[in-house]
Amino acid sequence: MSINLTLLIVMGVLYACGIYLILERSLTRVLLGLMLLANATNILILATGGYAGLAPLYSKETDPGAYNDPLPQALILTSIVISFAVTAFMLGIIYRTWALARQDEIQDDVEDRRVAKTPSYDAEDDAIVPLETSEFAITPSTPEERLDPEETETPKTAKSREGGSA
């Protein structure tokens, strides 16, 4: 099976332009980028389908190897329907944004920037691991639990316990 080089080049250019447009701040350019990516994916599915053959209609005289595979065609049709729905949804978002704010660009969100600057916290990595992991441990696991409470008394509390004044 040999793939048409022209289809591969067109597909690569469509993917590159689509990714470039998706990274823009304008919603219209994002929509155009999504449309280019959908068309590039359709060409990819078409190229992987192989050479064109006979129509996939059953006939006793036709060799089974001469038939065309209908699966890539069905996948492309499904992709066209999905990309049409995404395009309609994005057009609705673009229209609503234009009607409300009279602008097409996505603004910076201050809260998103604040969250991005905070250091990440992972509860598992930052947790204190006990020395003894058995639930039947008799010995205390932390140094504070190992100390006798009478040994940790301050001189002030010792005097008040003995009846002296502070």
**DSSP output for 73-131:** HHHHHHHHHHHHHHHHHHHHHHHHHHHHHS--BPPPPHHHHHHHHSPP--HHHHSPPPS
Residue 30 CB coordination number (10 Å): 20
- pLDDT, tens only, 64-84: 677 777 788 889 999 999 999
The reported pTM is: 0.59
CA–CA dist 130, 117 (Å, integer): 31
Mean pLDDT by 10 residues, the chain (166 residues): 80 95 90 95 86 69 74 90 95 90 81 79 66 63 57 53 54
The pLDDT score that the predictor gives to residue 103 is: 82
Residue 41 · residue 48 · CB < 8 Å:
no
CA–CA dist 148, 42 (Å, integer): 74
* Share of residues in the chain with pLDDT > 70 (%): 66
Residue 104 · residue 28 · CB < 8 Å:
yes
Domains of the chain, CATH where assigned: 5-51+69-107 (1.10.287.3510)
Helix, strand, or coil here: 67? Answer: strand
Residue 128 · residue 49 · CB < 8 Å:
no
The pLDDT score that the predictor gives to residue 68 is: 75
The pLDDT score that the predictor gives to residue 92 is: 93
The pLDDT score that the predictor gives to residue 53 is: 67
CA–CA dist 33, 23 (Å, integer): 9
The pLDDT score that the predictor gives to residue 166 is: 47
Residue 162 · residue 150 · CB < 8 Å:
no
